Chain A
Amino acid sequence: MRTVTITDVTLRDGNHAAAHQLGVKEVELYCTALDAAEVPIVEVGHGNGLGASSLQLGESKDSDEKVLKAARACLKKSKLGIHVIPGFATIEKDLRRALDIGVDVVRVASHCTEADITERHIRFVREAGKTAFGVLMMSHMISPEELLEQSRKMENYGAEAVIFMDSSGNFLPDAVADRVKILVNSLNIPVGFHAHNNLGMGIANSVAALSAGASYLDGSARGYGAGAGNAQIEVLLAVLQRMGHPISIDLLKLLDAVDAAEKAFIPQTPVISSASLVSGLAGVFSGFALPVKRIATQFNVDARQIFFELGRRKVVGGQEDLILEVASELAQQQKQQQSQNQLQQQTQQQNQENNYVTRK
């Protein structure tokens, strides 16, 4: 049976849920435990990856450099991975330094239709002798054929695997399997899948990906990740064991790691909140969950309406500034509606009074 490589993304995707406050302390604790469990790849950093600490997306508690150095010191057997989106991180400002610190695996990501912006970063990583994977985010927005076309580009740039992400938690298992099949049949590099759980499909979609031929799967402790969270790594591992897949990870030690993480830095395990469910249906990037919640409260509008409007506008990850615009528009509409209602009420009242007077 084909071996599957698991990447733990808690310290990266979980940063969306933690408003990017997972820093050196959390990295040291969890990386040490994951290394003991021999998890193959451990991804750390800001939710949107290297160089993404910003007002737009939220500022990291600790700098990329500090976090990477801490992780590097703790990971002996596990490989150290990072997520890199061109447009946020540049080679000169961010990537070169990260490789110097000792990152092993660089997952260069773009929105699913924009693979060509990853060329320089992928080539740079390969030329430096490190492992480069291509990542296509928000992959529910395009057809399997288009996904293949974009994956081929990444393969040509030198990516050693292509991972497609269900960033909105919008896929159902058949859709995942269709995509994995077409990629596996047409590419010469392995294929991976990254789940979000907005429709409760995190594990089911990961299993579908695996059965269709995927070689890389992502998971996080208790599912701690953006929005409704990811595939829960410990559950994923148990399910793979039940399916009879050869796994190199020590399940009990992984459970120790996850329990320690929960105690130390997961104040609330992910649930499929009403807002996250709507977000998944609307196909909005899961990382929007916290900023939408904050801004909805500030503008006194319904978070669900914000998600629907963002979905209608087909926003992509990184366009968090649009939440402000949408919320402010909804608030204005609400105000107009209220004043119209008031006017109507006043008119009705007036009419009633007039009637009364006439009758009298």
Chain B
Amino acid sequence: MNPPQKKLRVAILGSGNIGTDLLIKSMRSNYLECTAFIGRNLVSQGMQMAQKLGVPISSNSISHIEENPDCCDLVFDATTAKDHFIHAAVLKKLGKIAIDLTPAKVGGMCVPAVNMEECLKQNNVNMVTCGGQASIPIAHVIGKTQKDVEYIEVVSSIASRSAGPGTRVNLDEYIHTTEAGLKLFSGAQRTKAILNLNPAHPCINMQTTVFAKVDNPNIDALKPELERMVKTIQAYVPGYNVILGPIVENGRIAVIVRVLGLGDYLPPYAGNLDIINCAALSMAENFAIERLEYK
């Protein structure tokens, strides 16, 4: 596939860890051009980086897009769930595609390895959560290969330093959204999500464990599907790897994955940032291919 002549113009709302990492990733893309980096504070680290990279910046938050509706075709929202409720209405009115990285769940939940095609038909997609991006594909193949999935539980541990103030204030929403995503994509009757912040130095790599309670665990059926799924994810998250399992322990299926980031804005241990951003970027690129008809 040749890179397109014309790129999809994207704006990034939110100049924190997620937004700044997205900026670096989108600068590398053959399909995207970052035409606005928008926050609330011009002196933040992210803003300064955007300025250095020559990307137009603004501290006017969503007003910048309202006042300059032609500045972009697609908006990554890396603010907070509370803010996205307001942003979503504005973006809808202006006809912009919204890729929502907060746990607001305004749009349909999107996990590229599982439901990319379906999501490309929508104008607001929700990237669930970092733990959701890491665990839902596994929960999905468990749901596909096991009979009567009674319960799925996901435990994610991330380095404290990779959890900014937004993530910390949104812990409850993180849990609710991840649980809803697990349920939707696995068909499990009950789901539970747990998040641990670990302050150890050197920082721990992002790790997620998926436990499943099923009637008669069928590891033989699960293994090949899981391998295929991992390859699909690795196409957009190269640092995604199964480090244990699938095994049956104490009557439950367990799979542990580790996500090493690309080390763009935060070091590689922040796989939690990387996986949700890689997923969002992959969606944006596919929107570009679809909407700009460079197939």
Which residues of A pack against B, CB within 8 Å?
54-56, 86-88, 90-93, 111, 113-114, 116-117, 119-120, 141, 294-295, 298, 313-316, 318-322, 324-325, 328
Contacts and interface: CB of A to CB of B under 8 A. Distances in A.
Contacts of B198: 111, 314-316, 319
Contact of A54 (B194, B195, B200): B194
Contacts of A313: 200, 204
15 contacts: A54-B155, A56-B209, A56-B211, A86-B171, A87-B175, A87-B195, A93-B175, A111-B196, A298-B250, A314-B204, A315-B198, A316-B196, A319-B196, A319-B198, A321-B207
A114 B172 contact: no
Interface in B152-210: 153, 155, 157, 160, 165, 168-169, 171-172, 175-176, 192, 194-200, 204, 207, 209
Interface of B: 151, 153, 155, 157, 160, 165, 168-169, 171-172, 175-176, 192, 194-200, 204, 207, 209, 211, 213, 243-244, 247, 249-250, 252, 254, 256
Nearest to A318: B196
Given A87-B194, A321-B256, A314 B200 contact: yes
B5 to A, nearest CB: 47
A120 B153 CA distance: 24
A55 B256 contact: no
Nearest to B204: A313
Given A55-B252, A56-B209, A321-B254, 20 more contacts: A54-B192, A54-B194, A87-B171, A87-B196, A90-B171, A90-B175, A90-B176, A111-B198, A120-B172, A314-B198, A316-B198, A316-B199, A318-B155, A318-B196, A319-B196, A319-B198, A321-B155, A321-B157, A321-B207, A324-B209
Contact of A113 (B151, B199, B211, B249): B199
**Which of A91, A313, A321, A328 neighbours the largest number of chain B CB atoms within 10 Å of its CB?**
A321
Contact of B168 (A54, A111, A116, A324): A116
Contact of B249 (A111, A120, A324): A324
**Which of B151, B153, B172 neighbours the largest number of chain A CB atoms within 10 Å of its CB?**
B172
Q: Enumerate the 6 nearest inter-chain pairs by beta-carbon distance, A residue then B residue, closest first.
A: A314-B200, A321-B209, A90-B172, A113-B199, A55-B211, A318-B196
B245 to A, nearest CB: 8
Contacts of A321: 155, 157, 207, 209, 254, 256
Contact of B176 (A54, A93, A298, A316): A93
A120 B172 CA distance: 9
Contacts of A113: 160, 199
B199 to A, nearest CB: 4
Given A90-B175, A92-B172, A119-B169, A324 B254 contact: yes
A141 B198 CA distance: 12
B168 A56 contact: no
B256 A325 contact: yes
Contact of A116 (B165, B175, B195, B211): B165
Nearest to B197: A114
A171 B155 CA distance: 29
A318 B165 contact: no
A328 B256 CA distance: 12
Contacts of B209: 56, 321, 324
Contacts of A114: 160, 168, 197, 199
Contacts of B172: 86, 90-92, 120
Nearest to A328: B244
A295 B256 CA distance: 16
Contacts of B192: 54
B257 to A, nearest CB: 11
B197 A54 contact: no
A322 B213 CA distance: 19
Contacts of A322: 157, 207
